[in-house]
Structure 1
Amino acid sequence: MHILVTGGAGFIGGHLAEAFLEDGYDVTVLDAMDPFYDLRIKEHTRERHREVATREGVDYEFINGDIRDAELVAELVADADYVYHQAGKAGVRSSIEAPREYHTVNADGTLNLLDAARDTDLERFVMASSSSVYGGREEYLPFSETDPTLPVSPYGASKLAAERYACAYHEVYGLPTVALRYFTVYGPRMRPNMAISNFVSRCCNGQPPVVYGDGSQTRDFTYIDDVIAANRALLETDAADGEAVNIGSTDRIAIRTLAEEIRDQLAPELALEFAERYDADADHTHADTAKAQALLAYNPTHSIREGVSKFIAWYRQNREWYEPLVLAS
């Protein structure tokens, strides 16, 4: 079986490609190597892929290319049995500066993949959506898939457009599509500009964690292993075809509490610092995962405290190469 993973040198896509290689599948990775963060993290991911492919005796190919290249996308999709579409422009705050670029990559790029897939015998098209489609209004917590989608950033709007196209292609063309709405995924090789990696790196270097706003905003942080489990389930079931499905964790936590807990584990003598909050940041996220449990037997196994402890252990083991990239972000 041959799986195409777009964005497969990135954080989530990289872990997905690695998991599929470990499962014995042939994998092609398409990634534009966008320098949104230090590309040396992606190079570590690619090296890991090569090691696993050699060990498992499976085929692995890396293509440096863009999902906006419709001809390239059509060629790669035609050779795939499954498409796991993780490529896209990430970052709520960055999208404020370049909304059209986010739309072009996240919405138009997804349309290229869907158009390439619609006349094939593809087993399934799985795409990464985001909790940002909800917008973060507290009265709807926890967010279920039937709640209003009210994105407050160009990033959230672009992801909502992409997932709606995916679901529409199921309705109109019968393409087996699934959109997974990820809730703030974290873990090894995560983007260095995310809150958890920043808090850990600063504490390890005797610098106080910086919290944006008063820290009362809450997040549903999802450990990468739980996200991989949800994606793996879609190799085995068609129960979620045509659906958007929340993939979250077991709880939510205030950003200030998160910073304090990381600080207390690593450098309890430090005080927190506070900076001006970004307007596009959602107030709250929290997933109702009942639909994922019903359709995918999804059962997240990592609480935020357990997941952060695992990330800190990984960070310490990989500090020599990972930390300089975090500090430079």
Structure 2
Amino acid sequence: MQILVTGGAGFIGGHLAEHFAGEGHDVVVLDNFEPYYDLGIKDRNVEAARNAAEAAGGSYELVDGSITDEEQVDDLVAGADVVYHQAAQAGVRKSVEQPEKVNEYNVDGTMTLLEAARRHDVERVVLASSSSVYGKPEYLPYDEDHPTTPVSPYGVSKLASEQYARVYNEVYGLPTVALRYFTVYGPRMRPNMAMTNFVSRCLHGEPPVIYGDGTQTRDFTYVDDVKRVNAQLLEDDSADGEILNVGSTDNIDIQTLAEVVRDEIDPSLELEYTDPREGDAEHTHADISKANELLGYEPAVDIRQGVSTFIDWYRANQEWYDPLVRNS
């Protein structure tokens, strides 16, 4: 099958590209290599997917370009059976600083993609959304009917994107599915996240730093669970037109997460606290019953298992992944 992965050199997109290439599919990746974080990590994602394609006898093509380039997007979509739309300007705090840029990539770019998909009658568009669309909880866990009142431009952009996807299904009959991810983590994740910061500091003998008082809660979803549900949507039409939460069964507060990481690496370290970051939601917690009902989605990796696996991977790849080692 011909698969286009936008943002396919990024964290989740890279794992999807690697998986599909490893299954023998023909994969094309579009990525503009925005230097939001160290591009060497994206190079590793590309390398992993290329190696998977070579081993499985599939094909892998990398296109350096932007989701906002209408002509380029149209050409790529024309050759695709299924599109996985992962491209976005990531980062809640970055969106507070540059809201127009976030809108350009996340909303205008999504529109460009959906229009191309409609013109070329692709079999399905699977779009990456985010728990950031919910904002302040009126109740927890969030189900998909919870009010959407985002507290950051990033959340607003993801809400607009998923609603456009829904409308393109309803009005034009384009098969679309939007997946609201809840704090995805795992190998090759962005290095400026809470978990990577905790692991890096602890491995260097420094206490983990918590922004705020640590009572903030998150669902942490291991990337393999996200990869599995995306792979199912390659041919499963059960969720066409739907918006689904993709989270875990583990809701954990940030202080406890820091303690879990600390205890795994160096239990003698203390915790440190600093001012909270603007735009961060206080709590996220996914009700995944809809994804379970439609797709049989059940996360398989709990937080302690996932943290332990991630720390092992981090140690093995610290030389190129850890920012303190790379910049020393």
Q: Return the alpha-carbon distance in structure 2 between the equivalents of residues 196 and 244 of structure 1.
A: 27
Q: Which residue of 2 aligns with 1:95?
A: 95
After superposition, the C-alpha distances for 1:153-173 in whole angstroms (9 at most, x for unaligned) are 000000000000000000110
- May I ask how many residue pairs the two structures share in their alignment? 328
Secondary structure of the structure 1 residue equivalent to 2:28: strand
Secondary structure of the structure 2 residue equivalent to 1:119: helix
Whether contact under 8 Å (1:193, 1:326) holds in the other structure is no
Q: Return the alpha-carbon distance in structure 2 between the equivalents of residues 188 and 257 of structure 1.
A: 21
After superposition, the C-alpha distances for 1:60-106 in whole angstroms (9 at most, x for unaligned) are 10000000101100000000000000000000011101111101100
What stretches of structure 1 move > 6 A for 4+ residues in a row? none
After superposition, the C-alpha distances for 1:39-67 in whole angstroms (9 at most, x for unaligned) are 00001111111111111111110000000
Q: Return the alpha-carbon distance in structure 2 between the equivalents of residues 310 and 197 of structure 1.
A: 13
Q: Which residue of 2 aligns with 1:48?
A: 48
Q: Which residue of 2 aligns with 1:162?
A: 161
Q: Which residue of 1 aligns with 2:216?
A: 217
Secondary structure of the structure 2 residue equivalent to 1:178: strand
After superposition, the C-alpha distances for 1:298-328 in whole angstroms (9 at most, x for unaligned) are 0101111111111011111111211136875
- The 5-angstrom pairing of residues 76-87 of structure 1 reads 76-87=76-87
Q: Return the alpha-carbon distance in structure 2 between the equivalents of residues 56 and 22 of structure 1.
A: 5
Q: Return the alpha-carbon distance in structure 2 between the equivalents of residues 22 and 136 of structure 1.
A: 40
Q: Return the alpha-carbon distance in structure 1 between the equivalents of residues 275 and 155 of structure 2.
A: 21
Aligned residue type for 1:106: N
Secondary structure of the structure 2 residue equivalent to 1:127: strand
Q: Return the alpha-carbon distance in structure 2 between the equivalents of residues 121 and 74 of structure 1.
A: 12
Kindly tell me: are residues 59 and 325 of structure 1, through their superposed partners in 2, closer, same or farther at Cα, counting changes over 3 Å?
Answer: farther
Q: Return the alpha-carbon distance in structure 2 between the equivalents of residues 310 and 128 of structure 1.
A: 24
Q: Which residue of 2 aligns with 1:7?
A: 7
Aligned residue type for 2:67: I
After superposition, the C-alpha distances for 1:268-298 in whole angstroms (9 at most, x for unaligned) are 1111111100131101001000000111110
Whether contact under 8 Å (2:181, 2:245) holds in the other structure is yes
Q: Which residue of 2 aligns with 1:307?
A: 306
Q: Return the alpha-carbon distance in structure 1 between the equivalents of residues 325 and 177 of structure 2.
A: 33
Q: Return the alpha-carbon distance in structure 1 between the equivalents of residues 40 and 324 of structure 2.
A: 8
Offset of 1:136 from its aligned partner? Answer: 3.6
Whether contact under 8 Å (2:246, 2:291) holds in the other structure is yes
TM-score (norm 1): 0.98
Gaps of 5+ in 1: none
Aligned residue type for 1:278: R
Aligned residue type for 1:256: Q
Whether contact under 8 Å (2:89, 2:106) holds in the other structure is yes
Q: Return the alpha-carbon distance in structure 2 between the equivalents of residues 110 and 20 of structure 1.
A: 22
Q: Which residue of 2 aligns with 1:241?
A: 240
Query: Is the deviation greater in 108-117 or in 233-242?
Result: 233-242
Gaps of 5+ in 2: none
What is the identity percentage for the equivalent residue pairs of Structure 1 and Structure 2? Answer: 63
After superposition, the C-alpha distances for 1:234-291 in whole angstroms (9 at most, x for unaligned) are 0131111111100000121000110011111111111111110013110100100000
Q: Return the alpha-carbon distance in structure 2 between the equivalents of residues 50 and 21 of structure 1.
A: 8
Does 2:270 correspond to 1:289?
A: no
RMSD over equivalenced CA pairs, Å: 1.3
Kindly tell me: are residues 110 and 279 of structure 1, through their superposed partners in 2, closer, same or farther at Cα, counting changes over 3 Å?
Answer: same
After superposition, the C-alpha distances for 1:171-226 in whole angstroms (9 at most, x for unaligned) are 11000000000000000000000111110010000011000000000000000000
Q: Which residue of 1 aligns with 2:200?
A: 201
- The 5-angstrom pairing of residues 63-82 of structure 1 reads 63-82=63-82
Aligned residue type for 2:220: F
Q: Return the alpha-carbon distance in structure 2 between the equivalents of residues 223 and 49 of structure 1.
A: 19
Aligned residue type for 2:260: E
